[in-house]
């Protein structure tokens, strides 16, 4: 599995972040969780997942119970918009696999 974090765009204090997951395994990944620690930031939107921000920790999970990351190179892309000074997270992980 490969997990990557990107900053797609920055405009003033607002930025769009992205977490990409490539599942190189033989089984689909269901019931996943993404954690992104953005101390001092406020997340205003999440796309391709459900999520909430609690004290600078963004927790994201599948939007529906049937959503999976397909096997054999399947990709998940989750986007979020945030306000604040920190564009690079203190921590980022997908199912406890750290982002690159």
pLDDT at 55: 87
Q: What is the mean pLDDT of the chain?
A: 95
Tell me if 31 sits within 8 A of 63, measured CB to CB: no
Question: Distance (Å, rounded) from C-alpha 77 to C-alpha 6?
Answer: 11
Query: Residue 66 — very low, low, confident or very high, per pLDDT cuts 50/70/90?
Result: confident
Tell me: the pLDDT tens digits for 13-49? 999 999 999 999 999 999 999 999 999 999 999 999 9
CATH code of the domain in which 53 resides: 2.60.40.290
Domain count, the chain: 1
33: which 2 tokens?
């969780």
Which residue in this structure is represented by tokens 């306000």?
A: 83
Partners of residue 81 on adjacent β-strands = 16, 45
Residue 45's domain comprises: 2-98
Question: Distance (Å, rounded) from C-alpha 88 to C-alpha 6?
Answer: 9
């Amino acid at each position: 599995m490969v997990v990557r974090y990107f900053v797609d765009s920055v405009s003033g204090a607002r930025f769009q972040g992205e977490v990409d997951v490539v599942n190189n395994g033989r089984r689909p990944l269901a019931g996943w969780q993404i954690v992104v620690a953005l101390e001092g930031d406020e997340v205003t939107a999440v796309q391709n997942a459900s999520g909430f921000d609690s004290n600078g920790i963004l927790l994201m999970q599948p939007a529906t119970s049937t959503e999976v990351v397909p096997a054999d190179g399947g990709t998940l892309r989750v986007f979020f918009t945030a306000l604040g000074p920190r564009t690079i997270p203190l921590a980022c992980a997908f199912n406890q696999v750290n982002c690159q």
